[in-house]
Amino acid sequence: MSLVNAMLRMLAVQALRGNTIAADGVTDSSIEALSSIMSDRQAPVILVRIDESKYAGQNEGFFVTSGTVTFALDLIVASSVTYQTTDGQAVNQIEIAPTDAGLEFSLDMLDRQWRRVLSDPNNAFAECFRSLVAAIGPVKAARGVDPEGGRKHAIRMVEIEIEPVCDPAPGAELPPVIDAALTQLATVPDYQSAVVIMRGEFAKGFDLMSWQKIQSTLMTTAAVPAMLGVAPPDAGEVVGFDQVGTVINGEQTELTDDILPDPDLGGSA
């Protein structure tokens, strides 16, 4: 997984919250996080997650520029049920009931609404989400079915194959679309610490030499940048500019910024 994937989940959650019949019942990766705000009444919720990643490129290093991920939305009608454990403690658990006509309508409404929200040009979080997606592939939906009895449950799993922009390699400039998305996420108090951490990670590698950045991006040995014409400096003591000299007309001369061409060598005084 990448930090861009994490940003996509966060942006989708913020774009959807308050803009569907799920209201604030939208979460990232774990439905159990919703148990604290749910009641014993059935209510629609949305679970945002990213699953499979597929990268077809070869010899592109770990920060590949071509690949797809499965962006998924679980549309659910569920309730929070409280159980008593054997030692007397109360435990909240999410329960997804068998579907009926009313619940099916709720799922159909959610299926329409997530598409509208993530396409909304006036939703700042959705705009940042779209800016991080280079291409959208097939969209498919599956029903939640009891594998034993075959009963259908009030859950619809939507999977969208997308091609996200790639994480910048160490030392690379932060792309404007990623910078803008981080700035937008920082407006959410719950995400501010995560944004600071992500910016710190993206900043790593800026002190690398240019040939080292190429080596890191391509995940190669030090010999490869030299083959590409970006040779690393010779190993040994670092020599400062003021320690370098040259020979002009047989005399040793310090190399300085204000050396003028020698007329005897065809230059102008």
Specify the length of the chain in residues.
269
pTM: 0.74
**Greater confidence, 98 or 24?**
24
pLDDT average, residue stretch 232-238: 52
């099916």: which residue's tokens?
104
Express each pLDDT in 51-91 by its tens digit.
Answer: 877 776 666 677 766 688 999 999 988 765 555 667 767 66
CA distances from 189 to 28, 67, 186 (A): 16, 32, 7
Lowest mean pLDDT among 30-44, 95-109, 118-132, 253-267: 253-267
DSSP state of 169: P
The dihedrals phi and psi of 208, each to the nearest 5 degrees, come to: -75, 150
CA distances from 105 to 34, 102, 115, 227 (A): 22, 5, 16, 62
Torsion of CA 158, 7, 95, 108, to 10 degrees: -30
**What pLDDT shows up at residue 123?**
98
Enumerate domains of the chain plus CATH numbers.
3-167 (3.30.70.1700)
Separation of alpha carbons 265 and 90, rounded Å: 93
Lowest mean pLDDT among 179-183, 207-211, 258-262: 258-262
* pLDDT of residue 260 exceeding 60: no
From the DSSP assignment, how many helices (H) and strands (E) are in the chain? Answer: 7, 8
